Structures are given as structure tokens and as C-alpha cells.
Amino acid sequence: MSDVVKRSSVGMLFYFYGWLCEIVAIPRRLPSAWGVVGSDDDDDGGGGGGGDGGVRVEMDDARRLAKDCLRVVGREMGVMD
């Protein structure tokens, strides 16, 4: 397992596995935040400009983010599709 952590591009998630499991198991509503989840192919780094530029803003909560991280860990370990 330590070899996977060292060689993986998402190895840092393995260190947070216990905390991620605890976050997912919390039964009450968790804090939420807004965040940018995508953008177009325009990588000029500039802000501003007209239109929405293909940027999508979405509200997420800690439980959903933790689940997404655990899915990535599962794929990396080969236990999920």
C-alpha cells in the first residue's frame, strides 16, 4: 500500500482516508461552499472578459467532496470502476 501512495498522482488522499470516512459518516447537514467546477479551454489566465467563458459555479458540501475523494482513492486501489 505504501508503494501506491508514493507512486500515485493522488497519493495525498490516502493520508486523509480516515478523516474522509468520518466526514461521510456524519449524520447531520454539513457546511456548504460555492466553487468553480469547470472552465473552457481558454487557459490565458486572464480574468474578466465578456460572457460566462464556459465557467460553471456549483454549491458543494463537505460530504459530497469527501465521497468524491473516496471514489478517487477506490479507483486508484482498483476496487472501483
Residues 2-32 as b/e (b if ≥16 CB within 10 A, e otherwise) read eeeeeeeeeeebbeeeeebeebbeeeeeeee
- The answer to whether position 49 is within a domain reads no
Structurally, how many domains does the chain consist of?
1
State the pLDDT at residue 57. 74
Going residue by residue through the chain, which has 81 residues, state the pLDDT in tens, using 9 for 90 and above: 566 667 778 878 888 889 999 988 988 877 777 777 765 554 545 444 445 567 777 777 888 888 998 998 888 878 776
Cα(43)–Cα(2) distance, integer angstroms: 35
- The answer to whether position 47 is within a domain reads no
- The answer to whether position 65 is within a domain reads yes
Please give the sequence-ordered ranges of beta strands (E in DSSP) within 1-81, or none if there are none.
32-38, 56-61
State the pLDDT at residue 2. 66
- The answer to whether position 43 is within a domain reads no
- The answer to whether position 18 is within a domain reads yes
- The answer to whether position 44 is within a domain reads no
The parent domain of residue 18 ranges over 2-37+54-77
